[in-house]
Each structure stands twice: as structure tokens, then as C-alpha cells.
Structure 1
Amino acid sequence: MTQPAAGIPGSKGRPPGRPRLLGEGATRRVERPAPLRQAVYDALIELIVNQTLKPGQHLVELELAEYLGVSRQPVREALQRLQTEGWVDLRPAQGAFVHTPTDEEADQLLGVRVVLETHSAQLAAGRATAEDVQRLWELQQIGIEALASADTEGLVVANANLHTCITNLSGNKVLAEMIAMVDRRVRWYYTPIARPRGKDAWTEHADLIKAIAAGNAELASKTMHQHAERTRQAYHEQRAAAQ
């Protein structure tokens, strides 16, 4: 008797004794990536993060499509994805609106950031080389220049780059991945306070770099914890003043 030919799991031609891993009706095609869809998604998040699209703002598919130079379909798909991830609210019979973060949401996210980045700074202090410290000072200078020119977007980017550099210096890939997951939302919350917080924030950055340069893990941890906590407090103070 002829033996069945070898095949992929779940196929009729699988070798004898091999368990069926997929049902006969399961799809066998892998969806190809959709770069345009992803590009539109990334562009809309960036517009939300930098406050071009402000919390509570009505999002009109046609206007967004014209602004981005694409059809309405990838915009519609991006808005649905943004809704599932909490960036956008889809309201029946009204449309899409930029999500307005609640105080609780912001506090939870910024609280997680305090924990993660405090540990990141502690690890970085034990690993940073002279070249690493020099890079931190270069990023610090970029932030100081953005502060002097009242460049809000530049401040947000410089702040994110400095913190990312410290995260990378920690040498902990899992920690870096976790921090990257919250980075965009942190930038979103940080944008309104970047300039009011500016001078104090960059003074604290300098103290943090000095602690890392000295290899003082305890001081670096303490300095980062205070820095992140003050940012959280500043966000809540700004929200209270705005209300």
C-alpha cells in the first residue's frame, strides 16, 4: 500500500502518526505587510503626540486622507486600530475623536514610567563608559538649545532621546522593550508641560548624568525617581490649572 506523501501539518498528505496541528479548513496564507496602512497609523499617532491633533478633536476621515495624501480606506483602518489602543474614541453616529486622557490613566502610565526608569538609571550607572557619558552630555546640550529657543517639539524629542539613551545603557533588553511600549504615550503627556517644566527638567537631567558618570547607582536611581515623580506632579498641576 502506498504511504501518504509528507506535507505540512494538517494536510491530507501528512506522514502516518503525525498529529493534526491545524484543522482542514484553516487558512494557510500569511497576510503580507501593509506598509501604507502602517505609515498612516504612525503618522496619526505622531500628530496626536505632538498635539497637532488635540485631545477631544473631531477626526474627519476625508480631511485626514487629504492631509496625508492617501485614500480614506487606510485612514479608516488606522482609526479603528487607534481606537482599540486607546488613542481615539469612536462614538456611534458622531465619528472619531482624539481620546482625552483621564487623570487616572495618566497617573497609572507615569507611575509605571517612574518604576521602569528608576531601575534603568540604576543599571546604567554601573555600565556607562566615558563615551556613553559624553553622548549623554551631547543629548543634554540639544535639550538646552531647544529650551533656549522655546522649541516645544524639540524639547519633547530631546527628552525622549536622552531617556532612551539611558535605557539602552542599562543593558536590559526586556526593560528597554517595556519602556519603549509606554514611550509614545509619555511623549503625549509630556508635550503640554515640556516648556513649563523645561528649566527644572534639564537641571535634573544634568544631575542624573553626573550620577551615572560617577558610577553611583544609588544616587542615579534616586535622582531618576525624583525626576520622574516631579514630571508626574507637573502633569497633574498643568491639568488642574487648565481645568
Structure 2
Amino acid sequence: MRISAHMVCTAVRDDIVSGVFPPGARLTEELLARRYGVSRVPVREALRTLESEGFVTSRRHAGACVATPTEREAADLLDIRALLEPLGTARAARRRTEAQLRVLRGLVRLGQQRAARGQFSDLGALGDWYHETLAQASGSPTLASLLTQLRRKITWVYAAEPPERAVAVWREHGAVVDAVARGDAERAHALAGAHVERSIAVRREQRPVAARGGRRRTAVRTAKHPVNTARDGA
């Protein structure tokens, strides 16, 4: 089966966000092709896409490297989130489907249960699913794409919120979903805005991780790492 550039792009982006490739790391076509078990052609296309998204930069005589965002660029991400996320949530209150609402309610239930029990390992994935579903419920593919890309960048640039915030975070998510379920766009906008402001306040106390060049992992593994093809249809 031919591995698409989209699948390679997803794999490289995930490795950048998780810190496998730290800011400034070189991303040679040879290394990436070997790591994901693909030819150089989809790697080259993936790098072009990631450069357009701001995760990769090209340097003269050095080739493609993981971008190193400045602290101002990191702060801009939070400001943009404060504008876009409440807008998307208000639109979701007007346009969400019953199927999307069921998914949101299920995710909130699981998130609240895990947070209450101190089971934090699953909360990152649940939070990503929650935010992506809420963005899709806005009924605007462009806005949903922007929100998803923005969340990926914030996850890349900033450390995760402290675990002690988990119960409050999922309580806030529950209140947002209740407003979305009632079709109350004004309240959904206000609740999402308040949630984002609290999250931003926590993040502003941190110095952006990617902006200072440190990540959870700094050693780049070069062993073959086949692309997970199951993610392509997500």
C-alpha cells in the first residue's frame, strides 16, 4: 500500500509536538524516510506542508529544521485562541448535530470520571477529541481546521496544564456542552471565553517550552518507525 504524504505529515507533526524532534533539529529526507519506512517523495511533500503550518523552517545550507518559535509568537497563539475558540463554541450551539452532542456528552462524562479518580494519563487524548469535536460542530470546516491546528501548536509550544486543574477543566467543559445542547450561543460563547482565559492565565505563568528550545525528549531516534496508517481516516 502506498503511504500518502498526509500520513507522513501527521506522523512527523506528532513527533514534533511530542518533542521527539526538538526545536532546531534537522529533518533530513533520508532520516525521515528511514524512520517512517517510506520513500523520500511523501517526506518531501510532508515537509512542505509542515513548513506552511509553521512547524518546520528551511535554512540555507542546513535544509529543513524544526521551527523555534519566539516567545512573542507563542503569546500570539494564546491571543488567537481567546478570539477563535469562543466563536467556534457559539457556532456549535447553533449548528451542532445530535451525533456530535452525544460524543461531547460522552467525552465530558469520561473526562470528569478520570479527573475525579486522578487518572490523568487519558485526559490529553480525551481533551483533544473533545476540542476537535466541538470545533467540527461549528459547521465551518475552515474554522475547525484553524482551531485544530492552533491547539496542536499550543500543545507543542507550552507544557501541559497542571494535573490539579483537571477537575475544574472538565467541569468547565461540561458547562460548555450544556449550553451547546440548549442552543444558547451567547452563554456558550461566554463560558468558552471564561474557560480559555483561565487556561491562558495558567499558560502565561509558564515560559513557553518550545520557545526556549527544551522539550521532554531531545534524542532523535533513527530506527525505522512505520507510519500508523489507521490514523489517516480520522
Report the TM-score when normalising by structure 2.
0.70
Structure 2 distance, partners of 1:168, 1:206, is 17
Match of 1:59, SS? coil
Structure 2 distance, partners of 1:127, 1:85, is 28
Larger Cα-atom Rg: 1
Q: Quote the residue 1:187 is aligned against.
A: 152
User: Amino acid of the residue matched to residue 187 of structure 2?
Assistant: L
Structure 2 distance, partners of 1:234, 1:63, is 37
Match of 1:104 among 64, 67, 72: 72
CA contact (8 A) 1:116 1:179 kept: no
Structure 1 residues 237 and 93: alpha-carbon distance in aligned structure 2, compared to 1, 3 A threshold: same
5+ unaligned residues in a row in structure 1: which ranges? 1-33
Q: Quote the residue 1:150 is aligned against.
A: 120
**Root-mean-square deviation (Å):** 3.2
| Fraction of identical pairs, as percent | 33
Task: Please list, as runs of the form range in 1=range in 2, the aligned pairs for 1:32-181 lying within 5 A after superposition.
Answer: 36-126=4-94, 133-144=101-112, 147=115, 148-151=118-121, 154-170=122-138, 172-173=139-140, 176-181=141-146
Match of 1:219 among 187, 191, 206: 187
Structure 1 residues 193 and 226: alpha-carbon distance in aligned structure 2, compared to 1, 3 A threshold: farther
Structure 2 distance, partners of 1:78, 1:165, is 25
Task: Please list, as runs of the form range in 1=range in 2, the aligned pairs for 1:203-214 lying within 5 A after superposition.
Answer: 203-214=171-182
CA contact (8 A) 1:56 1:99 kept: yes
Structure 2 distance, partners of 1:133, 1:70, is 38
Report the TM-score when normalising by structure 1.
0.68
Structure 1 residues 122 and 83: alpha-carbon distance in aligned structure 2, compared to 1, 3 A threshold: closer
Match of 1:166, SS? helix
Structure 2 distance, partners of 1:97, 1:143, is 36
Q: Using CA pairs below 8 Å that are at least 6 residues apart, which structure has the higher relative contact order? A: 2
User: Amino acid of the residue matched to residue 67 of structure 2?
Assistant: H
Structure 1 residues 81 and 204: alpha-carbon distance in aligned structure 2, compared to 1, 3 A threshold: same
* TM-fit CA distance, 1:131: 6.4
Match of 1:194, SS? coil
Structure 1 residues 240 and 183: alpha-carbon distance in aligned structure 2, compared to 1, 3 A threshold: closer
Structure 1 residues 145 and 64: alpha-carbon distance in aligned structure 2, compared to 1, 3 A threshold: farther
Structure 2 distance, partners of 1:80, 1:38, is 11
* TM-fit CA distance, 1:132: 5.2
* TM-fit CA distance, 1:123: 3.4
- The reply on whether 1:232 has 2:200 as its aligned counterpart is yes
User: Amino acid of the residue matched to residue 217 of structure 1?
Assistant: A
5+ unaligned residues in a row in structure 2: which ranges? 213-234
Structure 2 distance, partners of 1:44, 1:156, is 19
Q: Quote the residue 2:166 is aligned against.
A: 198
